Structure 1
């Protein structure tokens, strides 16, 4: 394993992050607020050596294992840099700001800042920018903006994202273009339905990123009470944010025939409809809400959870266990593959459920009969099935263990702990009131583990496994 290659790749990612941090003092100047000195200092201190290392250090292309190790390391180091600046700027505990930064960059949306009202616009924007850049992937920006590190970071890119075109560079540029276009469309829609520019730019960045961090303490409720129509474009862009990037491209180009061929889009929309209906029914008959509230809150909160966005219109702490269970299921399934959404992913869920019928068919049909295993027009291999099942089993197993740990350390009901851990592991950010600045440090660490593992779909476990195999068998990795 080449540490030189890993350092060069990691440095290229830090160039992007530190350059982003330097935007914060600029925004302070533009808005007439005191300059955020910690962001200026930390950003500069990280940018200069990172830029020099990424340019001067000679390194070859990363192996697959090195790429995974780099990705796993970057998701610890990048939030660390942000946490230092935020802790110094806001004078809040470092562990809380590391939690906040990890939640931001992973697109989770949990927040442990006691009160958002005193925060400067630049800090609110930083929280939005963490999500907007982190959910797409810092590596996507590195590939598109820093051509001199292409050979080193190309495999890191493939760990986190897929390909739309023949080359990774053109794919990265296309993804950014799609992302920016939908961000601008959402900005216009949000302002047209009642948001100010300041609110709209922050909320659309965290919507299209399926992130969920907000301008106000009560998420979207303050704006909803003032401008009720705003929830409709928000719901639309939450759903779009969890689309596969291929489908977003086809939609943007009005290629409806291609959209119809998508193996994931139809089941994704069907699952959203079923989950929304179940949540509305639970609100009506178990939570005893008024019909209008049950409809609005039920649909909005299920879409928010299943797309892994994490906005709320009301507190979720008073929901019945039935409503919580429906939301947990939606959060666990999550959005589409090759999207900004988290969770097990719709395509994997479809594969797992279809596999039951395939196994049944195999048992009932004569041995000489063959049949196609396919989702849409896509043929499904044994490897794809094993991969989907393995991830689902890993997700459920780790989720269960972390939920038990959170229930014990935070002294909350298991269903509430399961809700929070699922929300963290699927990078959602919905909370039934467990997550706050008063949460014990060990409980925060448990949720940080959930966010960290979920963001890279447990790829960190492969790093550990590879290292152990190397130690035991002397393998070259």
Structure 2
């Protein structure tokens, strides 16, 4: 017997599907303006998507839209899957004529801001389709922020309960008051996007390319309008502008609200921000010095290359300004490790997240001290908040599941005939929502199109699991979840 009232869940899913339908009108207008016949594709898919979205809304109207805990779990997974299915439609019927598998993979990669792609020849695509890819990542990015600051802390997933907003209800309901915070973050998100557009345009990009890359940089998504990614411009100014906004995209967006009000204190007092910035600088400088020494590259160029690509991978953006797979074994090992790190919580970045590393280091320090001082009490605090046992268990469980799923996915990919490097880095980049892997097939200058369909479905699942913090999806497979 199903003990969950699905009406509020389906009502919200219908609203999200309707938003996707309205978003399809943007590339439709662009294609129509340039005279590309693909505008009919977006007009048709928008109409069909809006029909189903409104149908879900009308058939599931309810006076109470506050969600219980189980409804919130179900909504989080169902919304991403359903929205992705509708978002894939333009790829199937446009001139790319992608298969259902490839279209779903591309849409899932976009909405989860992963950035892996199966499309080659981007320079020859209609502008509307390029814009649709970027819009998917931009919409996915704002959805990820909202999920990270409202939904996941409420669900107590992976230690996220540390980030329960003071304005959030602490009962078993998600209430509209949390929407006030989401609206403020949305304004910050749009402002940063416009600032990035202006910066890229001043750096030498065309307005169309600047808009696309601003959306995929702030959302840390990584889709580009060229097959060679950012290397296709060979413009240092463009790279430095993107470094700034990729770093910003990996920071907690709630801190930017205080910054917009003229108070930078909360941003810098956040310990994960200090660790995040420090980690990026130290790793980039170290790799830059090593690259300048081993590859006989000018020190400034070496720093530019390492800063850009390190920030791109750590923030899980996935742009590439060079094929770092050719820099030698040390670089390959370093970039694979960086794939797992991720940005801050409450950002658009994926990965394990900086705050979890902080918690894990705290726990490790306590365990080491207790080896020689069994009765010593060491209270743990994160950002002046006490870290209880539940949070520690949640973080450690997340780390275990994270690594376990990477290896499980790697074995499944290898069973489909993929080589070890492609299977391992493909699994890691999907779970971490980074984008490119390593090796000649899915490396920084590669593409996921050659992979078998079964591998693409597995990687799509990996992207979803990584983006929704695993437990949100895995709990749905527990029969007790569905019983009254």
Is TM > 0.5 for Structure 1 vs Structure 2?
yes
Give distance in 1, aligned partners of 2:87 and 2:76.
17
Does structure 2 conserve the Cα–Cα contact (< 8 Å) formed by 1:219 and 1:312? yes
Deviation at 1:398, TM superposition (A): 0.3
* Structure 2 residue 32 is matched with structure 1 residue 29: yes
Does structure 2 conserve the Cα–Cα contact (< 8 Å) formed by 1:410 and 1:439? no
Does structure 1 conserve the Cα–Cα contact (< 8 Å) formed by 2:344 and 2:354? yes
Does structure 2 conserve the Cα–Cα contact (< 8 Å) formed by 1:24 and 1:122? yes
Shifted more, 175-184 versus 376-385: the winner is: 376-385
**SS of residue paired to 1:249:** helix
Where do residues 158-197 of structure 1 align in structure 2 (5 Å cutoff)?
163=165, 165=167, 167-197=177-207
* Among 99, 106, 115, the residue aligned to 1:109: 115
Does structure 2 conserve the Cα–Cα contact (< 8 Å) formed by 1:261 and 1:377? no
TM (norm. structure 1) is 0.89
TM (norm. structure 2) is 0.87
Give distance in 2, aligned partners of 1:341 and 1:138.
9
Does structure 2 conserve the Cα–Cα contact (< 8 Å) formed by 1:79 and 1:105? yes
* Among 350, 362, 365, the residue aligned to 2:358: 350
* Structure 2 residue 333 is matched with structure 1 residue 325: yes
Aligned residue number for residue 398 of structure 1: 405
Deviation at 1:2, TM superposition (A): 1.5
How many residues align? The count is 457
Give distance in 1, aligned partners of 2:413 and 2:324.
18
- RMSD over aligned Cα, in angstroms? 2.6
Show CA shifts across 1:411-450 (max 9, x none). 3234x43222222111111233324312111221222121
Shifted more, 52-61 versus 237-246: the winner is: 52-61
* Structure 2 residue 143 is matched with structure 1 residue 137: yes
Deviation at 1:255, TM superposition (A): 1.5
Aligned residue number for residue 280 of structure 2: 272
Give distance in 2, aligned partners of 1:259 and 1:358.
27
Aligned residue number for residue 78 of structure 1: 83
Shifted more, 336-345 versus 183-192: the winner is: 183-192
Deviation at 1:392, TM superposition (A): 0.8
Aligned residue number for residue 433 of structure 2: 427
Aligned residue number for residue 227 of structure 2: 217
Does structure 1 conserve the Cα–Cα contact (< 8 Å) formed by 2:70 and 2:481? no
Shifted more, 290-299 versus 238-247: the winner is: 290-299
Pair 1:278–1:240, CA change in 2 (3 A): same
Show CA shifts across 1:167-214 (max 9, x none). 222112111101011111111111111111111111010000000000
Does structure 2 conserve the Cα–Cα contact (< 8 Å) formed by 1:407 and 1:413? yes
Aligned residue number for residue 377 of structure 2: 370
* Structure 2 residue 449 is matched with structure 1 residue 437: yes
**SS of residue paired to 2:244:** helix
Deviation at 1:290, TM superposition (A): 6.0
Deviation at 1:139, TM superposition (A): 9.7
Give distance in 2, aligned partners of 1:242 and 1:249.
15
Does structure 2 conserve the Cα–Cα contact (< 8 Å) formed by 1:427 and 1:454? yes
Aligned residue number for residue 7 of structure 2: 4
Shifted more, 286-295 versus 28-37: the winner is: 286-295
Aligned residue number for residue 174 of structure 2: none
Give distance in 2, aligned partners of 1:249 and 1:364.
45
Shifted more, 248-257 versus 3-12: the winner is: 248-257
Pair 1:446–1:282, CA change in 2 (3 A): farther
Does structure 1 conserve the Cα–Cα contact (< 8 Å) formed by 2:25 and 2:46? yes
Deviation at 1:41, TM superposition (A): 1.4
Pair 1:274–1:157, CA change in 2 (3 A): closer
Does structure 1 conserve the Cα–Cα contact (< 8 Å) formed by 2:236 and 2:304? no
Aligned residue number for residue 261 of structure 1: 269
Give distance in 2, aligned partners of 1:44 and 1:133.
19
Aligned residue number for residue 323 of structure 2: 315
Pair 1:113–1:56, CA change in 2 (3 A): same
Aligned residue number for residue 172 of structure 2: none
Give distance in 1, aligned partners of 2:349 and 2:151.
21
Aligned residue number for residue 479 of structure 2: 468
Does structure 2 conserve the Cα–Cα contact (< 8 Å) formed by 1:251 and 1:259? yes
Give distance in 1, aligned partners of 2:31 and 2:374.
72
Show CA shifts across 1:318-368 (max 9, x none). 34343122112222110000111101110011110121111222333352x
Give distance in 2, aligned partners of 1:24 and 1:257.
40
Unaligned runs of 5+ in 1: 142-153
**SS of residue paired to 1:192:** helix
Shifted more, 373-382 versus 283-292: the winner is: 283-292
Does structure 2 conserve the Cα–Cα contact (< 8 Å) formed by 1:275 and 1:330? no
Show CA shifts across 1:87-124 (max 9, x none). 11121222111111110010000111121122111111
Deviation at 1:315, TM superposition (A): 2.4
